[in-house]
Chain A
Amino acid sequence: MKMDARPPVLAVDRLSVEVGRRDVCRALDFTVQPGDTLVILGRNGAGKTTLLHTLAGLRDVLRGAVLLSGQPYAAWPRGHEACLRGLLAQSQPDFFSATVLETALVGRHPYLGRWDWEGPEDEAIALAALATMGLESFAERQVPTLSGGERQRLAIAALLVQQPRLYLLDEPLAHLDLHHEITVLDHFRDLAARGAGVVMVLHDINLAARYASHVLLLDGEGGHVIGPAAEVLTAERLSAAFGHPLRAVVDGNSTLFVPV
């Protein structure tokens, strides 16, 4: 193991999370080091979003600890945590119109003082992120005129504008076509290779197998399995977790999981 003076991007210590009276996970331990990509898998209602929001510091930690870059959220100066971790939330309806560029610039908020306005550097960062998501020609469009997939790419662009160390992604592939699924996952793999940490909720097991360094599998009843992707992703475990039989199909170097 390489010695690194910097603390892990995210450290979770004996974390228990509940929704209502139901357990999402009990005594969960893991760390996300720079370069890691952790994929969270689990059936509908297993609490993946709740867990992700807890990791993002949006929910109180009742038992255990969540350390962002070595410190609990409460220890960071208010607002600074948004420079360290970004959350891609599940899409929400827009009630007011805004342009694509304005929406992407939202990601600059943590870096601006109370009276600051976005300057040319902020704009350059936003336009670069829009270009990464293939939206460079959309900058002046009104958001309600975009398709669902375009809005999802815009939300990802706004997250990239935030430039955090830790990316928490809740179903980043929602509404995306095949080409953009791969583009988005490739981009986050590049970010991880450059030192970021990525935690994402996915529903596609085969994409998880292709991109994850680690996998957290929630069984929906409070139990979990976590470890290197190749160890966690077995047909037996996946079948149990999703409540549907799966079969592993070996194709050259990769293993595909198909529902029976």
Chain B
Amino acid sequence: MAHGHVAKLGATSSIRLVRRRAGLVLAGLVLATLAAFAWSLSAGSLPVSFDDLITALSGGEGGMEVDIIRGLRLPRAVAAFACGGLLALAGALMQVLLRNPLADPYVLGISGGAAVGALGAILAGAASGWIDAGAFIGALGATLLVFGLAHGDGSWTQTRLLLTGVIVAAGCGAAVALMLSLAPEGRVKGMLFWLMGDASGATRPWPALALLVVGLLLAMPFARELNLLARGEVTARSLGVRVGRLRGLVYGLGSLLTAIAVTTVGSVGFVGLIVPHLVRLLIGNDQRLLLPAATLAGGVLLCAADTAARTVVAPIQLPVGVLTALIGVPVFLFLLARHPR
């Protein structure tokens, strides 16, 4: 009896500790978001003062510093943050949908389709607006193709969806390689930057940020049902979850988030795969905490990585996708080694 009592007290405090810890992690991520934006807005070839930052953000008039912050650095920082958040949120959703820790936002061929669209537009010599349009159309095309093929007979298995996505992605990869080999010398660099992910051309970041907020608000009411879906279809259905509807929602939402992200900054890798795992190692796999935390962490990572990409070897700009891999992989391996689960 005494033993049971002790175990009960310990466990009671443990679930509170988990939530308190998650609260601390979320608060820390909010602070990290502020820090990432402060760094991103102040770093660069033109030094700016704290007063310039305040003036730029509060909408006041100022000199060239204020114009640069408001016209160049802020849109770019917002685009990077929003797309990092979109990719991390989409990655967390896809990992639950496919019940596969190796799933990422691109596993179902979305980035492949976007790349075919975008590179096709670059190859045709289109203006940047048409490159974005090409990427978005390509992403949605791949999504619908995979969905249609995997649902040929109305059944839904994760394996079938995954395999269809992998094959469509492989086909897109071949098309991309073909376009790269056919492209004239002058356009290859632009194509490679698009493929690796690059936020320098992101001048219209607000749709991505708006979608990030809407996407998170749409996913949160279903977070506890997602916890059950992660435990398997039979378990989820026997506890009253409408699995078919939930999967459709997650698939559609994850695809849309990813399509907007790749349209805005190209196919930045690793954020959507690694950030959800990183957050899981810190606060566990309760989607009610994981989804907002992963969204913030993805935003912080991409915003910081983009700032580093344009300042580390300035005036040369690196593709941000290279930086996310260089930062993400060692951090992830370190955390994995520390938490042997």
- By a beta-carbon cutoff of 8 Å, the part of chain A in contact with chain B is 53, 56, 58, 78-82, 86-87, 89, 92, 94-99, 101-103, 106-107, 109-110, 112, 114-115, 117-118, 120, 123-124, 127, 131, 136-137, 139-140, 142, 144, 162
Contacts and interface: CB of A to CB of B under 8 A. Distances in A.
Nearest to A89: B234
Place the interface of chain B in its size category: 35 or more
A101 B240 contact: no
B62 interface: no
B241 to A, nearest CB: 8
A148 B78 CA distance: 48
B76 to A, nearest CB: 35
A123 to B, nearest CB: 6
A53 B237 CA distance: 10
Nearest to A94: B231
A165 to B, nearest CB: 14
A106 B228 contact: yes
A9 B175 CA distance: 59
Nearest to B96: A96
Shortest Cβ-Cβ A-B pairs, 9 listed: A139-B11, A82-B240, A79-B240, A87-B238, A89-B234, A92-B232, A136-B7, A96-B285, A109-B239
Contacts of A120: 12
Instruction: Determine which residue in B10, B228, B235 has the highest number of CB atoms from chain A within 10 A of its CB, and name it.
Output: B235
B224 A101 contact: no
A58 B242 CA distance: 11
B325 interface: no
A162 B12 contact: no
Given A123-B15, A137-B3, A139-B11, A109 B238 contact: no
Contacts, number: 97
Nearest to A101: B11
Nearest to A79: B240
Contacts of A87: 234, 238
Interface string B1-39: 001100110111011001000000000000000000000
A89 B232 contact: yes
B11 A92 contact: no
B237 A95 contact: no
A99 B239 contact: no
B7 A96 contact: no
Interface string B275-298: 000001000111010000000000
